[in-house]
Structure 1
């Protein structure tokens, strides 16, 4: 690695004009290209304090051995030159888009004898027509609705062959959501005509089909054929529902591309919907490795450069409007550059309200789903998991392999309903059967550090108790013979689950969600219990730094480290698990029931009563003898319940129904 001081240019040598600069490695290869309004100010930021740079920028500066620049006449020229050099040299430290072909489309396999309607992802297939894109839920609803009007085959090839061999259609054929060409109800030509109509409707000719059905319905009414008219009416309603959702999403003269991002500290997922004639005509997606000091406007700028710079002019892909989540700092110059490629004006805007803003939120949701899918696939890769565990062990200088990792997170709202979660990862994969929830009350709920200390103490106290019980059991006479007998029985009995101690297996590493205070609280809990073979780290969200106990400085893992990805996934899973428990607990705390005020009636007995009688109304009407039929309800408690609801004089006191205190909804009557 080169020392940046060895190739740093003199400050007076660097012009203050706008321009483009290039960093080269010792072999002369360009590893980074950037542009600046003021070259001197920008380049000096790399060399003033190299040790304080963010990790990826730090790696780039130390990997380079020289820097050079080119002065241009304006920011627009610098934008054009930057793009040209990035395209030509493909520097490894610049943002690079990676295609993400995961979004579902409604596809019709017109190349088959009996065209099939199905949901497809990934690469496009020859002879198949695609419509969309859709969200995961909406595509199934759209397909189900349209098959009512256009009963095109949707079964797999195996189901089709079995139906042809048996002479009986599948379930969809019986419920009229398939024309059943497999058994000859329609000819191949008639079925293909249905598929053509399906494609025509999805291709934008919906109004024609709806108008035709309306005329047929009017004719059926005129002929007093009301049953057929009712069926046609239902078909029209179904088609209108699909048409309103999928056909015209914006004004019919709108041609625009809508970009949205969903990002975390290391990566960003990008989605774009191509709107032509007011309809969604296409979609693309990418995953981007972020540069630490890049902002969302920077990402948008690089995104537009790469998406439109490749083939925008040759394919006419640049529309009149480009809608983005945040405007780039040089949006005017970028619009001029895109206008030059298009040969006409291009507007770059951020939608604030109305239909375009609503569609932007849909695109953003797609980007969020794409990033989740990308991360889950990465987590499932065996090679990456092994590399992550190895990198983490080396970075933290741990003497043991990380076979089991436990992560703890505390969740609350302004100190109320404090809960904590424990998630477990073994061999880099989540072990959900070992997840645990903790309710935190009393002094431990005072703050996050007290809660973390309490939770760790409780978790490892259980571990010590289980360990002590096992040791004491092993010292009893005949213990080994009993263990051998159980082992032999286990070999014969493969259906009965083997009992296990609740907290018997300790982790090699404990991860807490937080920085130095939370880590020290967790380490203190282990120390108080005399446990010295479990290591503790914390992952702080702000800069994703890793904290060790009693350390003044964090460990900074490389931004592309598989070990850091693993820690992030564990931390995010613990946060998700804690949030879900907190919401559940908060919901219960906000629910008031008429049974809550009955003396001596606890939660389990309330549940038993509701399970037996079904509602509070029936409980109030039951006699004491009938109440004893519920589990755990004795004669005295039954009399107390009757007295509570009817009053000592039998007049019948009014009792409020169960009410959700958040929404005011009556839960039990």
Structure 2
């Protein structure tokens, strides 16, 4: 037996192991201090070869499906953790927990080395010895910052401090004109300290904003009052309502995960200088038959959130439970950030209050979500198309061009019962025919799986040929997700898009579906396809207008169309032509044309 033979010859060394089913689909990725000991622990070898008795129901089911295994040796356990996390994100194994918490949260920061410093927003580490960060903020960072500048007479713009005369902001009483020496460094420092108190304490900030909103309303400035009202609502959303203030000026990150039925919620609470400064929540959906491993979810949530580019990480991470491999993750974070970081599951004292606060909010979020959710259409689609998993996250692809010119590709995303427009992506393409364009589009998306993990389902605008193309591209990068394609019904050789009338054909792995036009499942896939088409057309129009404008600009220099094509073929884009030197352009055309083009572009 191939599997049994591999199990007998496993090395006693750290590494990452991968389990596959009989079809070659990836089931699970795990890491081990000793591959020999860890991998063998999944199995019982006598009286017959079978899954070990002490496994959870979820893992027991998974082991029953194992047909083959592969492993990768690494130097140490930390490397194994990093590689395991990277492979899970890229390959989306069937039985691993995949989280999508890969976005960086913004911080408000200030450079205290300056005489009259300003607050700004960043998602990256800012160089400087006296940089102070506040956050992270899941939402409303800009609203908080705008409010601070309206309430406190700080230097309003970067350019202000370099000016020699007080500007309009001074006349509006929104700046105390340090440029003219009207306020000392020490006096300005007090204003900064007061502003910091309001960044750290949202209730103080909201009270000031409510007072300002009331004044605007009294003066019949209703539009401005409405802007403040909306800002207050956003700031409230950025924070779990809490009266918890610690006597110690501690920085704590809190992580709590709660699961119920086929959903889980991740709650993060950020405490800075003893006060809860912001919070965030994220819902994860999963198929009940696969189950949910809360230990792996904690592990994954920490590894995904605290990456190399993390701006700030507190020395204490408070978690809702002691989970497997907590010690190894602690050690990894300590080495990565060169800080004595502890992951703590408190049993008593003040920190338990934070866990209880997170727990209350987690239960409330899941309760509301389960009342409002309507995933019925997704379950119907899974059943109809015989998908491997319920498609809680779907990516839909289309491309657009006119006779092969300015080809573009579009990806739209559906998740949590709505189109997720922040995750939409568009791509400039170079291929001339539709097959090559789709290949280029899907290849670009597949290349980004490490940063942006694969979804549950791809929907392709096209027929079986493009569906097979998509499967081949996924297979080439080792990813096994479902793919369906939808081909437009043709009437007199024209595509029919009328709602409730178009009888489009849907291609799945095993079957071709010719559903009735009023079938809700067909209409849902059409809705997704049409949104991708709309987004692709919109981007194509934008690119064509831009291209036509660029061509007309070059034409204005007296350069003919043939020479323009020659330039664009050589440089690839108008932007590259603009940044090219006279000598570089002259190598394609001649010195006279090159001088004319550079002279014209510098004026326009």
TM-score interval, smaller chain: 0.3 to 0.5
| Higher Rg | 1
